[in-house]
Structure 1
Amino acid sequence: MELLILMGVLVLLLALGVPVAFSLLGASIATFLVMDIPLVVVFQRLAGGISVFSLMAIPFFIFAGDLMYRSGIAQRLVEVAEAMLGRTRGGLGLVNVGASTMFGAVSGSAIASASAMGSTLMPLMKQKGYGADYAVNVTVSAAIVGLLIPPSHNMIIYSAASGIGVPIGDLFLAGVVPGIVTAVILMAVTWLVAVRRGYPSGQFPGWASFVRAILIAVPGLMAAVIIMGGILSGIFTATESSAIAVIYTVLVGAFVYRSLGWSRFVDAAQQSVKVTAMVLLIIGAATAFGYALAVLEAPAQLAELITSITRNPLAILLIINITLLVLGTFMDMSPLIVITTPILLPVVMEVGVDPVHFGIIMMLNLGIGLVTPPVGSVLFVGAAVGGIKVEDAVKTIWPFYLALIVSLVLITYIPALSLSLPQMFK
């Protein structure tokens, strides 16, 4: 009965348009009232959910990503990608995917990538004769790569939610190959759609321009090298690396590119505070909701249900993937990670799935939800930047959905894609 109330109130509040964090809190409060549990427990769990040291990395990585966008690093990455890929048919679409992959390596944020690549490339793509829906679909799909390429603050949330301290450094390394695989598959689909629509080819700017673009972009790309190199060498932790990323980005933007002034710095700080507040409130609310699920023994019941159907790890991963894909269409990524990780991780570990591997599966799976209505936040951002209706983008996005699903299947059933790099550096 209590579980029905918990889930029923959540669904009702979400259907009424109540923000996710307050829907989670409302459902938790309603359930605790019925169970006669003091309401102070809800707020203790909320505070405890965000009082985790590793979560300190989230505001810094969000801040670093916004600074990179405002300091012109995204523009330099676009120039490199254009020099490498722009001469093929539909070259600007490939440039979009390539630049998003590189930007993901220094920001780790899908929304930041969609905003940066969208504002930089969408006007140019439409000017060159590309359809607005194509520009939006390529941009939002490629933005998902940023969730896999380190650093990704969602991996930090997963590590904290796991309860077993999945190493953040291992998660960062595990995302590299899956991120590249996803980018390559998206490039193939981007090219095929461009050929089918008859989009134009670009021109190679010459080796001198190519080398110059790379040299100019190197200071920005070094952020990823410094972050991963510092973590792997043990010089600093993943949390400390986030603060170093901010300092490095400020230095590069202000003194190397000289495009980061005081006003842009303040704008980035204000936007990062807003985003961080939303993310941490959602994490805290999801922690309270997860506690209610634990009190009602929902994780154990779900695990028993799944294992009663099958104990085959391949079948269990298929069931979980389908479940997460459905949930991702109705709820944002951060609360789903906090809620579902403690429930699903023990189930997959029981049948031999590595927690690092499962973390990468979750990143891509729930990332697909970010470009799927009705709660696809990245899709809404891309459509807004592209100046088209979400419905118009969804009508033609199915080839890109298919590409992401193919990548999800490969990552799910070929663990070596995720585990080879972490094992190499142990």
Structure 2
Amino acid sequence: MSMLVLFLGFCVLSLAGVPIYAGLGLASILYLLVSNPDFIVMLPQRVWSGLDSYMMIALPLFILAGELMNRGGITQRIIDFSLHVVRPIKGGLGEVCVVASMVFGGISGSSVADASAIGSVMIPAMEKKGFSKRYATGLVVAASTMGMIIPPSIPMVTYSMVSGASIGDLFMAGLVPGVMIGLFQLVALFFYKRTNKLHLLEQAIEHRHGFWKTGREGLLALIMPLLIIGTISFGVATASESASIAVLYSLIIGFFVFKELRLKDLPEVLEKTFITSSSVMIIIGFSMIFGWVMAMEKVPNTIAMFFMTMEVSRFWVLMILVVFILFIGTFLDVTPALLLVTPIMIPVLRHYGIDEVQFGAIMIVGTAVGLVSPPLGMCLNAGNKISGLPIWDIFTAALPFLICDVIVLLLVTYVPEVSLTVPRLLGGH
């Protein structure tokens, strides 16, 4: 009865539009009032214990580094660099959009930031060159899913805190799936253009600089993810220290190389970082209460025992997991989805020989699809704000490219080498 109060309370509060953190906290309080009111005094301690982690330092620092790079003029330079990259294959704005998202994903660590930054430049540019606004917006939001998969990844930091998996291994596990999504989307774009006769509209966008200047500035942007990944993977720095290095690098590039970052920009940058970090941290804190309650009721162990006693094969357990992740992504954002699903499913997957790193890759790729799933997909909403188009129109335009994400999700799920090869090569897993 008490567990029914917990889950029904959370569902009702979420459907009523209550913020996720409040829904988690209030549902947990309702449960404790019904089952054991004496435990309510422990709630502040449980919230604080969820935030009292050295790993939490990395979260706002990665967000700050991304904000500094965005404000420092990196977005336009990434687009210019991407134009030169796709030129040998006679690419147009569609290919530029996908390649730019791949590069930008290695800087921001956030798909929503990717959709907002790339979309604000590419959607008007593609529309100006004859592409429909619907097509341009759909491609942008679908390509933005790479932002949280290609390392560094802010959601992977959150997952690492919950699962205990190595953040370096997780970053490496997302590299191949993220790049595969980009390559598959380029292939889908090629056939989509031929089918819809869009090749006649392909025109190059104007670029401001020559090849060498554009290439040099693009490589300066690429150094940042390599710096983060290299220092963590080879044990030079922890995730928090690596994030600090990324902030310092962003400041140097913005102030002294590109010279587009100004002292007057810093208050707004810090404000955005504070708001974004706080929204994530408060969800993490209150989700710890929810997780604590489920642990007391032994929900993860019960689910694990259910699958064991049913003797469900590994194939079907993984298929159930994939469907569940895609379903939950339609009404939960990435962070609460990670925090709710991870502690429940890890015991089950351990029984079937699936470790935390592969599961992390499955969760990250799966929840990235949810960012483009109506009605609450954050990337869909970012595209809606930029283009003004209805969310459903954007989703239908993005669907041909979103299928690429689902294909990669299935590969990551059933072919462990897709996510684990790079961590193993680097000796971390």
- What is the CA-CA distance between 1:216 and the residue it aligns to? 1.7
- For residue 175 of structure 1, give the secondary structure of its aligned residue in structure 2: helix
Aligned partner of 2:187: which letter?
A
Question: Could you say which residue in structure 2 is the equivalent of 1:124?
Answer: 125
Instruction: Give me the whole-angstrom Cα distance separating, in 2, the residues matched to 1:205 and 1:26.
Output: 53
Aligned residues: 423
- For residue 396 of structure 1, give the secondary structure of its aligned residue in structure 2: helix
Instruction: Give me the whole-angstrom Cα distance separating, in 1, the residues matched to 2:234 and 2:15.
Output: 48
Instruction: Give me the whole-angstrom Cα distance separating, in 2, the residues matched to 1:353 and 1:173.
Output: 17
Instruction: Give me the whole-angstrom Cα distance separating, in 2, the residues matched to 1:395 and 1:148.
Output: 22
- What is the CA-CA distance between 1:285 and the residue it aligns to? 1.2
Aligned partner of 2:241: which letter?
E
- What is the CA-CA distance between 1:345 and the residue it aligns to? 1.2
* C-alpha RMSD over aligned residues: 1.8
Instruction: Give me the whole-angstrom Cα distance separating, in 2, the residues matched to 1:309 and 1:318.
Output: 15
Question: Could you say which residue in structure 2 is the equivalent of 1:70?
Answer: 71
What's the TM-score, normalizing by structure 1? 0.95
Q: Check the 8 A contact 1:151/1:224 in 2, yes or no.
A: yes
Q: Check the 8 A contact 2:129/2:203 in 1, yes or no.
A: no
Q: Does 1:184 align with 2:178?
A: no
Distance 1:253 1:376, change over 3 A: same
Distance 1:267 1:195, change over 3 A: farther
5+ residue gaps, structure 2, are none
Question: Could you say which residue in structure 1 is the equivalent of 2:11?
Answer: 11
Matches within 5 A, 1:163-312: 165-199=164-198, 200-203=201-204, 209-312=210-313
Q: Check the 8 A contact 1:104/1:150 in 2, yes or no.
A: yes
Distance 1:42 1:413, change over 3 A: same
Question: Could you say which residue in structure 1 is the equivalent of 2:31?
Answer: 31
Q: Check the 8 A contact 1:83/1:204 in 2, yes or no.
A: no
Deviation readout 1:383-403 (Å, 9 max, x if unpaired) = 211221212212333212322
Q: Check the 8 A contact 2:371/2:379 in 1, yes or no.
A: yes
- What is the CA-CA distance between 1:166 and the residue it aligns to? 1.0
Q: Check the 8 A contact 1:71/1:259 in 2, yes or no.
A: yes
Matches within 5 A, 1:323-338: 323-338=324-339
Deviation readout 1:338-378 (Å, 9 max, x if unpaired) = 12111111211111112211110100101111111122112
- What is the CA-CA distance between 1:304 and the residue it aligns to? 2.1
Q: Check the 8 A contact 1:90/1:190 in 2, yes or no.
A: no
Q: Check the 8 A contact 2:372/2:395 in 1, yes or no.
A: no
Question: Could you say which residue in structure 2 is the equivalent of 1:42?
Answer: 43
- What is the CA-CA distance between 1:43 and the residue it aligns to? 2.3
- What is the CA-CA distance between 1:88 and the residue it aligns to? 5.9
Find runs of 4+ consecutive structure 1 residues off by over 4 angstroms.
Answer: 86-90, 203-206
Distance 1:204 1:373, change over 3 A: closer
- What is the CA-CA distance between 1:204 and the residue it aligns to? 9.6
Larger displacement relative to structure 2 (193-202 or 90-99): 193-202
Instruction: Give me the whole-angstrom Cα distance separating, in 1, the residues matched to 2:364 and 2:309.
Output: 27
Larger displacement relative to structure 2 (224-233 or 280-289): 224-233
Aligned partner of 1:121: which letter?
M
Q: Check the 8 A contact 1:108/1:149 in 2, yes or no.
A: yes
Q: Does 1:60 align with 2:61?
A: yes
Aligned partner of 2:377: which letter?
G
Aligned partner of 1:233: which letter?
F
Instruction: Give me the whole-angstrom Cα distance separating, in 1, the residues matched to 2:182 and 2:17.
Output: 34
Question: Could you say which residue in structure 2 is the equivalent of 1:409?
Answer: 410
Aligned partner of 1:20: which letter?
I
Distance 1:198 1:296, change over 3 A: same
5+ residue gaps, structure 1, are none
Matches within 5 A, 1:123-162: 123-162=124-163
Percent of aligned positions that are identical: 34
- What is the CA-CA distance between 1:219 and the residue it aligns to? 1.5
- For residue 374 of structure 1, give the secondary structure of its aligned residue in structure 2: coil
Deviation readout 1:29-56 (Å, 9 max, x if unpaired) = 1111111233222222111111111121
Deviation readout 1:198-256 (Å, 9 max, x if unpaired) = 332234999x9334321121222111121122123322111111111111101101100
Q: Check the 8 A contact 2:141/2:379 in 1, yes or no.
A: yes
Instruction: Give me the whole-angstrom Cα distance separating, in 2, the residues matched to 1:322 and 1:310.
Output: 19
Aligned partner of 2:36: which letter?
D
Q: Does 1:381 align with 2:382?
A: yes
Deviation readout 1:246-298 (Å, 9 max, x if unpaired) = 11101101100000012322211111110111000111111111111111221
- For residue 397 of structure 1, give the secondary structure of its aligned residue in structure 2: helix
What's the TM-score, normalizing by structure 2? 0.94
- What is the CA-CA distance between 1:86 and the residue it aligns to? 5.2
- What is the CA-CA distance between 1:380 and the residue it aligns to? 0.4
Aligned partner of 2:308: which letter?
T
Instruction: Give me the whole-angstrom Cα distance separating, in 2, the residues matched to 1:175 and 1:307.
Output: 29
Aligned partner of 2:190: which letter?
W
Instruction: Give me the whole-angstrom Cα distance separating, in 2, the residues matched to 1:323 and 1:42.
Output: 29
Instruction: Give me the whole-angstrom Cα distance separating, in 1, the residues matched to 2:89 and 2:218.
Output: 22
Q: Check the 8 A contact 1:89/1:202 in 2, yes or no.
A: no
